[in-house]
Amino acid sequence: MTVLTGQVVAAFSRRFIVATADGELPCQVKGRHLRVVCGDQVEVRRDGDAGVIEAVLPRASLLYRSDAFKSKAIAANVTQLAVVVAARPSFSMELVQRCILTAEDQGIASLLILNKADLPETPAALERLGLLTRIGYPLVMLSALTDVAPLRPALHGHTTLLIGQSGMGKSTLINALFPDASVVTAEYSVALDSGRHTTTHTRLHRLDADAAVIDSPGLQEFALQHMDANALAHGFVEFRPFLGQCRFRDCKHETEPGCRLQEAAAAGEIDPARLKLFQTLRRLQQNAAQRL
């Protein structure tokens, strides 16, 4: 029997959404050991002011967060991933793409949020993001300090997971969307060009009956060892029309003759930088698999 106190909110009858979880929360449901994460739908029996989880409903999606060593589930039933970036401190395009690849693997839509639009370096950041907007990822530009209205239409009807490197302004954004949430924001350290960690929990905030936003801790790294070569290739959405058309069925899309992806890169049908990232990630995945 698992008792959750103060960790379940947003009730519809006996069904709850797990709103706060520090990673995966172990629980026992009818003798079975399970783990619930933020966004999970559970059926809860009230027991005083606490709740006893009686069932965990099947998940429509499960997003993982990984470092170099292990994958950890961060949120369930997310329908949209929103990656927050800003011109300052600098952000990693590779990290942004890794997050999006994970979302693609789970069939989740991705959205780019370019925050701190008031900064003079913003056009350069927008230019870098062209790698992703050109292949169709939507982008919302805003300044969380002054106005988050441009983001609202994109959140409609979705459970959105906000993800981003430290210092991009995620907490500021959450504060502006949910004035009662009282998330601590920190001045990022300009000298180190990186943010300090102020967010420790993954937390679901309800926007309205059909929309919610999940805030997650600032990212430093995002490994993808849960995706094999095939999943990786499909994660690059613009590769999909060319997959299965290489001369060799087990083509690694490196230097093989008749590789349709290399041809597409040479012809400007796909961005060579994206193919290069695929090759790097596939090799990393391969090496990790060999170590097991």
Ligand X SMILES: Nc1nc2c(ncn2[C@@H]2O[C@H](COP(=O)(O)OP(=O)(O)OP(=O)(O)O)[C@@H](O)[C@H]2O)c(=O)[nH]1
Q: Which residues bind ligand X (CB under 6 A)?
A: 115-116, 118-119, 143-145, 164, 166-172, 185-188, 195-199, 218
Q: Nearer Cβ to ligand X, position 45 or 196?
A: 196
Q: Least distance from C-beta 110 to ligand X, angstroms?
A: 18
Q: Is 143 annotated as a binding residue?
A: no
Contact of residue 169 among Zn ion, ligand X, none (CB under 5-8 Å per partner type): ligand X
| Angle subtended at Cα 275 by Cα 274 and Cα 277, rounded to the nearest 5 degrees | 65
Nearest to 164 by CA among 62, 86, 110: 86
Say how far apart CA 269 and CA 55 lie, in whole Å: 48
Q: Least distance from C-beta 188 to ligand X, angstroms?
A: 5
Q: Does 281 bind Zn ion (CB under 5 A)?
A: no
Contact of residue 196 among ligand X, Zn ion, none (CB under 5-8 Å per partner type): ligand X
Q: Is 70 annotated as a binding residue?
A: no
Q: Least distance from C-beta 83 to ligand X, angstroms?
A: 11
Judge whether 65 and 96 are in contact, CB under 8 Å: no
Contact of residue 199 among Zn ion, ligand X, none (CB under 5-8 Å per partner type): ligand X
* Helix, strand, or coil (residue 44): strand
Cβ neighbours of residue 150 under 8 Å, at least 6 residues apart?
140, 141, 142
Q: Is 6 annotated as a binding residue?
A: no
Q: Is 210 annotated as a binding residue?
A: no
Q: Is 169 annotated as a binding residue?
A: yes
Contact of residue 90 among Zn ion, ligand X, none (CB under 5-8 Å per partner type): none
Q: Nearer Cβ to Zn ion, position 88 or 252?
A: 252
Token digits for 221? 């790294």
Q: Is 27 annotated as a binding residue?
A: no
Judge whether 112 and 133 are in contact, CB under 8 Å: yes
Interacting residue with Zn ion among 259, 265, 275, 281 (CB under 5 A): 259
Burial of 179 (0-12, 13-18, 19+ CB in 10 A): exposed
Judge whether 57 and 40 are in contact, CB under 8 Å: yes
| Angle subtended at Cα 111 by Cα 195 and Cα 199, rounded to the nearest 5 degrees | 30
Q: Nearer Cβ to ligand X, position 97 or 166?
A: 166
Q: Least distance from C-beta 107 to ligand X, angstroms?
A: 26
Contact of residue 41 among ligand X, Zn ion, none (CB under 5-8 Å per partner type): none
Site residues (CB under 5 A) for Zn ion, limited to 228-257:
246, 251, 253
Q: Is 38 annotated as a binding residue?
A: no
Burial of 228 (0-12, 13-18, 19+ CB in 10 A): middle
Say how far apart CA 160 and CA 175 lie, in whole Å: 15
Contact of residue 235 among ligand X, Zn ion, none (CB under 5-8 Å per partner type): none
Q: Is 92 annotated as a binding residue?
A: no
Say how far apart CA 178 and CA 207 lie, in whole Å: 8
Q: Nearer Cβ to Zn ion, position 162 or 277?
A: 277
Binding residues for GTP: 115-118, 164-172
Provide the binding-site residues for Zn ion, judged by CB under 5 A.
Answer: 246, 251, 253, 259, 261
